[in-house]
Amino acid sequence: MRILALGDIVGTRTVAYLAQTLWSVRKNERIDFVVANGENTTEIRGLCARDAEALLDTGIDLITLGNHAFGMKDLYPFLDAHEQTVIRPANYPPAAPGSGYTVLNVGGWKLLCISVSGRVFLDPLASPFDTVDRILERESGAYDLALMDIHGEATSEKLALAHYFDGRIAVMFGTHTHVPTADEQVLPHGSGYITDLGMCGPSGGIIGTNTEEVIYRFRTMLPTHFSVAEGSLRAQGAIFDLDESANRVRSVRRIVF
Residues with catalytic function = 68
Nearest C-alpha neighbor of 238 from the set 184, 165, 162 = 184
Long-range contacts of 71-75 (CB under 8 A, 24+ apart): 71/39, 71/42, 71/45, 71/46, 71/47, 72/42, 72/45, 72/46, 72/47, 72/48, 74/48, 74/49, 75/46, 75/47, 75/48, 75/49
Q: Residue 59 has what DSSP assignment?
A: T
Q: Are 199 and 164 in contact (CB under 8 A)?
A: no
Q: Are 182 and 203 in contact (CB under 8 A)?
A: no
Q: Residue 18 CA to chain centroid, in angstroms?
A: 15
Q: What are phi and psi of 50, to 5 degrees?
A: -60, -45
Q: What is the CA radius of gyration of the chain?
A: 17
Residues linked to residue 105 through DSSP beta bridges, in sequence order = 110
Nearest C-alpha neighbor of 130 from the set 120, 143, 116 = 116
- Euclidean distance between CA atoms 116 and 127, whole angstroms: 9
